[in-house]
Amino acid sequence: MIQQIPPLLGFCAYSGTGKTTLLTKLIPVLRDSGLKIGLVKHAHHLFDIDQPGKDSYELRKAGACEMMVASTKRWALVHESPERKKKHSLEELLPHLSLKELDLVLVEGFKHEPLAKIELHRPSLGKTPFFSRMSVVLWL
């Protein structure tokens, strides 16, 4: 069965431009208007959301390729793919969200993915905007 995908809106910019800062201001406004918001964030570096010494960390490090931890108010799924050489695409990642429960999915990063984007530009960084190379909804 094909899952209905809510609208996607991307935010792209160089590191340090303020994507996360903007999104931390925008998400509460959207939420307060009654929208249920999902978010997919690209990380350029390896990351770990778990902590050494915690049971969930130790179980994953013991060899589980997927580990889910759940409490009353939240759950998280960590998927290991150590042999993978290429970046995960939005097409691969979106099905892991509860799409039928969301009204909008915001996407931070993934600048080469084909979706509507808002580009943030900070001239003081001395970087050339992306907008000349891709379709952007709005340039800030």
- What is the per-residue pLDDT for 79? 87
Whole-number Å distance between alpha carbons of 36 and 68 = 23
Q: Per the domain annotation, does 134 fall within a domain? A: yes
If one counts the domains in the chain, the total is 2
In which domain, by residue range, is 9 found?
A: 1-42+87-140
Residue 47 lies in a domain: no
Residues 74, 102: one domain?
Answer: no
Statement to judge: residues 79 and 97 lie in one domain: no
| Listed range (16-30, 72-86, 108-122, 126-140) with the worst mean pLDDT | 126-140
**Same domain membership, residue 94 and residue 79:** no
pLDDT in tens, 8-67: 999 998 888 889 999 999 999 999 999 999 999 998 777 777 888 888 888 888 988 888
pTM of the model: 0.83
pLDDT tens for each residue of 97-118 = 999 999 999 999 898 898 888 8
Question: Do residues 53 and 103 touch, judged by C-beta distance below 8 A?
Answer: no
Residue 56 domain flag? yes
Place of tokens 């190379």: 133
